Structure formats: structure tokens, C-alpha cells
Amino acid sequence: VESAQKTTFRGSLVRTVVIGLLVVSLIPLIILGTASYLRTRQFMLDQASLQIETLSQNYSYQVAALADTRQQALTELLNQADFNQNLQTILKGTGESGYSNSLRTVNDSLISLISSQVENTFNLIAVVDSSGKVIASSQSLLIGKPLFADNS
């Protein structure tokens, strides 16, 4: 009876020691795994944030450069004396003498500006009167039509 109790006690002691060792060894592993997960998660969030910020800055630089290019091209066009005179003539209205020639010259200048651009700076250029009607355009089909359709 005594040897059976010793074997049971020894088996119980071994089981307790093994379970204790497993628990003691698993706790650091769980802590290290959790810390590693949290660090990796934060690193990935920081990297994603940095990439979004970089993309956004690059895009804003591209938009600013395009706006500068467009402004420069339009300024060069407006600095041409004959363009300004013809533009003034068509802005006065269809009853103005030389209106047709001025309109043709302005439209040709707009088309020339679009076709001469190395990059696709403009797809369309239009001159609009105060009521929103297109009075000159690089696309002749738009002339005489409202720039924006009334959706009401």
C-alpha cells in the first residue's frame, strides 16, 4: 500500500512539475508574442501613414506644377497683341465689325495652343461671356452654347 501511495505521489509530483514548467515557459512566450505583434502592427501603421503622406505630397506638387504650366501658357497667349485685340472684338458682340475674322483668329489661337503643348496641358479652352455662353472655343461645336447645362 505504501509503494502504491509513493508511485501515486511521485506521478502526481511529476505531473505538477511538468505543468508548472509548461506554464512558466509559456508565459514569456505569450508576452513576447504579444509585444512582437503590437510592435509590428504599429510599424506597419507608421509605414502606411508615411506612404500616404508621400503620395499626397507628390500629387500636390504635380497639381501645382500643372497649374503653373497652364497659367504660363495662358499668359503667353494673352500677351500676344493680336489675340487681345481679337478677343476684345468678340467680347463686344456679333454686331462688331470684324467679328467673324476675330472669332476665327481667336479659335485658331486656342486650337494652336492646345496642339502645340508637349504635355496635354489643356483638353479644351473656351471663352465664356458673363451669362455663361461660350463665345470662343478650341472646340467649335461649343460656340453659342451655355458652358454649364441647367439641371433644374
pLDDT band at 10 (very low <50, low <70, confident <90, very high): low
Length of the chain: 152
Calpha distance 145→152 (Å, rounded): 17
The pLDDT tens digits of the residues spanning 56-88 come to 999 999 999 989 988 888 888 888 888 888 888
Of 2-6, 34-38, 41-45, minimum mean pLDDT range: 2-6
What confidence score (pLDDT) does residue 42 get? Answer: 97
Write the single-letter amino acid at 66: L
